[in-house]
Amino acid sequence: MRLAFRALGGAAGVAWRESFPLGGRDVARWFPGHMAKGLKKMQSSLKLVDCIIEVHDARIPLSGRNPLFQETLGLKPHVLVLNKMDLADLKEQQKIIQHLEGEGLKNVVFTNCLQGENVKQIIPTVTGLVGSSCRYHRGEVCERPLMFLLDTPGVLAPRIESVEMGLKLALCGTVLDHLVGEETLADYLLYTLNRHQLFGYVRHYGLGGACDDIASVLKQVAVRLGKTQKVKVLTGTGDVNVIQPNYPAAARDFLQTFRRGLLGPVMLDRDVLQRSPVAEP
C-alpha cells in the first residue's frame, strides 16, 4: 500500500506537518464514565483467575494500555495478546517485543482473530505459565488442560495520559468518534498517514496527489463519493443553491476505510518506538 514518494508527482517536495496541534482538547470528555465501574468489577474478578489475558490493539502496542494490568503484573501470570495484527505494520515487530520485554512483558502473542492467525498459541502460552491446575468457573475454552475463560468488557484507562494517546485510541475505534470530532480525527489520520508516507488514500480515493490539508482531502473525498449537499445561500440578489461537500460524511468514510485496513497497515506507536531506547535484552 506504500507508494513511492516520487510516484505521487504533485506531492514531491511537499513538507508534511511535523506536529499535530493538540491544545484545547478536553481528552477526559472522550472517555465515558462507566469505565470506572467496569474497572472495579474487573479488579474484584482478578481474585478468581490464575492468569490474565490482556487483549490490546497491535496498532498501538506501546501505548494506551490500561495501567491496571501493569499494577497486577507482578501478582498474576499475564499474557499480552496484541490483536488485529492484520491492520498493523509489524515490520519492527522485534523492536516492539524488545521494548515490551523492557517493561517486563515477556509473554506477547500477536493475533489476527479474523483469520485465526496465532490464536492457537494463546492456550499453550497460558498453560506454560500456570501449569494445568487452573480453577475457573465458567466459559470452558480447553478440555486438556481444563481451562475456562472469564471474559470482561473492554475498559480503557480511567485517565488518558495525553491528547495524542487519546487520538491514537480513538483512531483504533475505542471511543465514539463524534466525542473527538470526526473531522479532527480524520485530520489526525491524514497527519499520521503522511508522516509515515502511507499514501494508499491517494490511490483509494483517486485523488490528484497526497495532501496535508484535511479540508481539501475531505472535499475531494466527498465529491468522489457523491457525498455532497445542496445549500441555500442568501446573496444580495436573492437565494442561490450551491453544492457543498458533506465534510462529516467524507470524514466518516475516511476513518472507516482506514479501520477496515483498506489504506494499508499502520504502526501508530512509531514515534514511541523511535523515541525511547530499547532495553538491552
Binding positions for GTP are 83-86, 154
Shortest distance (Å) from residue 107 CB to ligand GTP: 18
Q: Residue written as cell 511537499? A: 14
Question: In this chain, which of 56, 69, 83, 191 binds ligand GTP, going by CB under 6 A?
Answer: 83
Question: In this chain, which of 154, 178, 213, 279 binds ligand GTP, going by CB under 6 A?
Answer: 154
Shortest distance (Å) from residue 115 CB to ligand GTP: 7
Q: How far apart (Å, rounded) are the C-alpha atoms in residues 87 and 93?
A: 13
Cis peptide, bond prior to residue 281, ω within 30 of zero: no
Site string for ligand GTP, 97-116 (x = CB under 6 A): ---------------xxx--
- In the complex with ligand GTP, the residue whose CB is nearer, 124 or 154, is 154
- In the complex with ligand GTP, the residue whose CB is nearer, 63 or 111, is 111
- In the complex with ligand GTP, the residue whose CB is nearer, 55 or 278, is 55
145 binds ligand GTP (CB under 6 A): no
Q: How far apart (Å, rounded) are the C-alpha atoms in residues 169 and 1?
A: 23
Site string for ligand GTP, 43-72 (x = CB under 6 A): ------------x-----------------
What residues does 243 pair with on adjacent strands? Answer: 230
Q: How many residues bind ligand GTP (CB under 6 A)?
A: 10
Angle at 205 between CA 201 and CA 211, to 5 degrees: 55
- Single-letter residue type at 255: L
Q: Which stretch binds ligand GTP (CB under 6 A): 44-52, 83-91, 97-105, 178-186?
A: 83-91
Residues 4-43 that bind ligand GTP (CB under 6 A): none
Binding-site positions read 83-86, 154
141 binds ligand GTP (CB under 6 A): no
Shortest distance (Å) from residue 152 CB to ligand GTP: 8
Residues that bind ligand GTP in the complex, under the rule CB under 6 A: 55, 83-84, 86-87, 112-114, 153-154
